[in-house]
Amino acid sequence: MSLKAGIVGLPNVGKSTLFNAITSSHVEAANYPFATISPNSGVVNLNDVRFDKLVDIFHPKREIRATFEFIDIAGLVKGASQGEGLGNQFLANIRLADAICHVVRCFDNNEIIHVEGSIDPKRDIETINFELIMADLDTVTKRLGKVEVKARTSKEKSAVEEYEALKILKEGLEKGIVARLLPLSDEQMEIVKNYNLLSMKKVIYVANVSEEDYANPEACKYYQVVKQIADSEGAECIAICAETEAELSSLSKEERNEYLESLGIEETGLDKLTRSAYHLLNLATFFTVGEDEVRAWTFSNGWKVPRCAGIIHTDFEKKFIRAEVYSCDDIFEYGSEKALKEAGKLRIEGKDYLVQDGDCLMIRHG
């Protein structure tokens, strides 16, 4: 699965600094609005200690980790949905993302310009959400106009169902409620997913705090505001210091670990982001292992083994026979596939097996 997260926020909140740090890229991060005028993307390998342990066991010729793509999207401003600033161009770029990383400024610094002249996380979040809502309302209103006539004249079931879903969206968006919080049924969610609404996307609120607050963000009054909003929406919320992440990105692994320890932090911002994204999107990882290759694959929780086999190769899903399965925890315990098999930990699973996070799979196919 190819996963993308769009990094959004007001100008000068630390989006590009964070993007540079987590992708080890070097796009412009200037202290003025619209320093980013085209979406920059960077693909990062996901850190997973299980992957490292599997490599130690198999010593493969190739190591292929799971990846995540981040898109740095230029700062939105009031009126973006009407073309203000760099306008709809960047709202369109958000549609490329599976999830949104909404960076919110949570630090004081008079030397860094804030487009609104003061630090107010609640106002900043509402500004971004309003622009996404307005763009969605335009999409929904246009579609509603086409569907309403068909629903009323033909009484066609699919048209009536789409019309009912669109009415819920329009009424909610007009009240300033993001689409992901509206009371749509599972069936209605299926109907509207093709609209690719901006405010329907899952959100990780990234509170960009000062280095002083990084180790203990709970003490930061700005972070508390962001966390309360995230909790009320059922969204993810993490604290990151973009400047610290920028410093960490230039260090060796050993130096990075020492620096994190000195700050009282256990993991990098990238690790926090990807872990939150996986949780938010209900994702997990399975592995294929051997002397030739150890590889991590991303899948959605609840997928059956043939569908996961299809990630490896479409023919594997079509011609699936069975899968040989064991947990990576079991091979860590027994040290080798031979010992694991002798202990009876290797299972044969059929097409109805639900793949679990950390499974090692060998697919048998026609």
pLDDT of residue 47: 86
Q: What is the pLDDT of residues 92-150, one digit of tens each?
A: 777 878 899 999 999 988 777 676 678 899 999 999 899 889 989 999 999 998 888 88
- The percentage of the chain sitting over the pLDDT mark of 90, rounded to a whole number, equals 53
Q: How many CB atoms lie within 10 A of CB 117?
A: 7
Separation of alpha carbons 135 and 116, rounded Å: 22
pLDDT of residue 303: 97
pTM of the model: 0.84
Contacts of 194 (CB under 8 A, 6+ apart): none
pLDDT of residue 180: 94
- The percentage of the chain sitting over the pLDDT mark of 70, rounded to a whole number, equals 90
Mean pLDDT across the chain, nearest whole number? Answer: 86
Specify whether the CB–CB gap between 40 and 270 falls below 8 A. no
Average pLDDT of span 322-328? 96
Weakest-pLDDT range from 144-158, 214-228, 294-308:
144-158
Instruction: Say whether pLDDT at 229 is over 70.
Output: yes
Q: What is the pLDDT of residues 250-276, one digit of tens each?
A: 888 888 888 888 888 888 888 888 888
Separation of alpha carbons 81 and 175, rounded Å: 17
* Among the listed residues 83, 90, 127, the one whose alpha carbon sits nearest the alpha carbon of residue 105: 127
Instruction: Say whether pLDDT at 82 is over 70.
Output: no
Burial of 18 (0-12, 13-18, 19+ CB in 10 A): buried
Q: What is the pLDDT of residues 206-226, one digit of tens each?
A: 999 998 898 899 999 999 999
Instruction: Say whether pLDDT at 345 is over 90.
Output: yes
Which residue shows structure tokens 């490896």? 312
Average pLDDT of span 167-186? 95
Average pLDDT of span 286-312? 96
Separation of alpha carbons 11 and 15, rounded Å: 8
User: Positive or negative, the Cα torsion across 204, 251, 59, 70?
Assistant: positive
Separation of alpha carbons 136 and 173, rounded Å: 8
Q: What is the pLDDT of residues 8-63, one digit of tens each?
A: 888 888 888 888 888 875 444 444 444 444 557 788 888 899 999 999 999 999 99
pLDDT of residue 32: 44
pLDDT of residue 34: 42
pLDDT of residue 88: 52
